[in-house]
A and B are shown apart, each in its own frame.
Chain A
Amino acid sequence: MSFVMQNLYVFVLATFLGFEVIRRVSPLLHTPLMSLTNAISAISLVGSLVILGEQKDTLSTVLGALAVTASTINVVSGFLITDRMLRMFKKREPKRDG
């Protein structure tokens, strides 16, 4: 049972860390924040890969295939669209003319 406690510690600490880090994100970037955290939480891909890769029976393989496809979509589109958005944020060019 000790691994349960360890995991709970990890969860609680990561949640607090998340609050502290994310509180500092400027509202300017809240949309990219959401798409980036989306991409990161698509880490469920890791669990999906194991289910699919083990290929234990038909049901688990089908569900695993579904899960890998769905999480891959999130990983790929999440990171790419976040970067696409962030590239758009530019400071004013120094072209002041009266």
Chain B
Amino acid sequence: MGENAMHGSALPLFTQVAYLVAAGLFILSLKWLSAPTTARRGVIAGEVGMVLAIVGTLLLPQIKAFHWIILTMLIGSAIGIPIALLMPMTAVPQRTALSHSFGGLAVGAVGTAKYYLWLSQEPERLSYFTMGVLSFEVLLGFLTFTGSLMAFGKLQELIPTRPIVYKGQNVINLGLLAVAIGAGVWLTLDPSKSALFPLLIALSLLFGVLLIIPIGGADMPTVISLLNSYAGLSAAAMGFVLDNKLLIIAGALDGSSGFILSIIMCRAMNRSFTNVLFGAFGQVSAKALEAGEKRSVRSAMPEEAAQILETAQSVVIVPGYGMAVAQAQHKVRELYDALTRRGVDVKFAIHPVAGRMPGHMNVLLAEADIPYDRLYEMEDINSELAQTDVALIIGANDVTNPAARHDKSSPIYGMPIIDVDRARTVMVIKRSLGAGFAGIDNELYFMDKTLMLFGDAKAYVSEMVKELTSGGH
């Protein structure tokens, strides 16, 4: 009886029903998330599902250590609530990376605990299938743990965001992964080789670190999505090990979500997974930049820029990560208000990889109270740009570089971009003429119709707002 207790079929009826309903609610939750009008209902459905699943689990007869459960859940909540409520929206990518990391850790820890428990008490449970999936779970869980921690470090700029590369890096990484998989396969064939288990853990942890350090800041949207997918898959693997269908379903949903987002991100950069993971983007090309000769640009003061905006009929604002760094979103909203009040039609063009995670810019602009029906996806806005008076770029670079369309030698060639160069006037707010995250020059800055607005995005935008609100009425 004891050994069957973990099998789904032997769960008490209440728990089974709770899990089933929770699975349904999780699916509804994601379905409702498809539109902003129903999205919050989706969160509630997810929460109810989660509570049901937790209650169903706590009613299992083998649960005894309630004091530990209450204590650890209180600690978890004490950490989780402040994170969720106090974290600035600009730091959402960091939080997401951290939560993938925690997810990986939990899965890895459960897998490890299960292995040693079964090894000492019920070795017959470690069948080929179970041990194989368990090895996979531990590998994926721990590599997601350290990999996401590294991603967090890069996003928080605790470690350099530039790719860190060395000779033979890919050979070493793949070799390490091969050894880890080898250890997993060996364990699958002979689970009693318990000395291999710590080796598997250590290799997984190390591989996670080495996998992420060669990846540059601009690739973070893809990497976060990929790690999201890993976190989900490892949770599904845990479901197989524990024979728990709710875990399998929730893990599969998360895994496919991360996978879809990774594909969207890769497409938006015209790159392959392999290229993102092993390409060390933005590293090689940084050298080529130094060779480039100095060209002249036109620059403008805030008063001048404000006048041009004021006389325009249509303005498209293209925000990028630089806007987030400068925390300029609230000032941008004031600019939006000032221009809208003067009858200027203001739209926002959002590139899929703008920012550090999928959808990052939308959240920042929504936080600043900019209505979401003013936010346009790249494909929808590009056809309008030729009829646009001013394209105002705030802290975006590579996603606006026309070289992506015609310069076959450019590292970003083929990447879909926002065609700001087709607008009548282009204005770029930028700190200096430095290169973007891809490490390449942007020819947009040297065009005749481009005005460079040098300065901190927040300070510059607020100067323009001041000009617009005091000038007329």
B110 — which chain A residues lie within 8 A by C-beta? 44, 47-48, 51, 63-64, 67
- Chain B residues touching A, majority SS: helix
Seed contacts A4-B240, A31-B357; 9 additional CB < 8 Å A-B pairs: A19-B256, A22-B260, A24-B34, A48-B106, A51-B114, A78-B80, A86-B36, A88-B363, A92-B371
Q: Mark B236-269, 1 if CB is under 8 A from A, else 0.
A: 1011101111111111111111101100100000
The residues of B that contact A37 with a CB separation of less than 8 Å are 30, 228, 232, 253-254, 257-258
Interface centre among B79, B85, B252, B264 (most CB of A within 10 A): B252
* Chain B residues with CB below 8 A from A87, complex form: 40
Interface-lining segment among B63-71, B291-299, B428-436: B63-71
Interface check B449, CB cutoff 8 A: no
Q: Are B46 and A34 in contact (CB under 8 A)?
A: no
- The number of chain B residues touching the other chain, given as a range, is 35 or more
Supposing A18-B252, A36-B30, A65-B72 touch, asked if A74 and B238 sit within 8 A by C-beta, the answer is: no
Q: How far is the CB of A38 from chain B (nearest CB, A)?
A: 5
Interface size class of A (residues with CB under 8 A): 35 or more
Number of A-B residue pairs, CB cutoff 8 Å, is: 376
Report the Cα distance A76→B341, complex, angstroms: 41
| A56 and B121 contact, CB distance less than 8 A | yes
Fill in one digit per residue for B48-64: 1 if any A CB lies within 8 Å of its CB, else 0.
Answer: 01100110011010111
A33 to chain B, nearest CB (A): 6
A-side contacts of B114, CB under 8 Å = 51, 60
A42-B43 Cα distance, complex, nearest whole Å: 14
Minimum CB–CB distance from B439 to chain A (whole Å) comes to: 26
The answer to whether A33 and B257 touch across the interface, beta carbons within 8 angstroms, is yes
Q: Known interface pairs A18-B255, A41-B231. Does A66 touch B371 (Cβ–Cβ under 8 Å)?
A: no
| Residues of chain B within 8 A of A54, CB atoms compared | 62-65
Q: Which 5 A-B pairs have the closest CB atoms?
A: A72-B76, A30-B359, A76-B80, A18-B256, A53-B63
Q: Verify B102–A75 contact, CB threshold 8 A.
A: no
- A98 engages B343 (CB within 8 Å): yes
Contacts of B264 in A (CB 8 A): 27, 30
Does B92 lie at the interface of the complex (its beta carbon under 8 Å from any beta carbon of A)? Answer: yes
What are the residues of chain A within 8 A of B100 when measuring CB–CB? 38
CA of A37 to CA of B121, assembled, Å: 35
What per-residue 1/0 map shows which CB atoms of B255-285 lie under 8 Å from chain A? 1111011001000000000000000000000
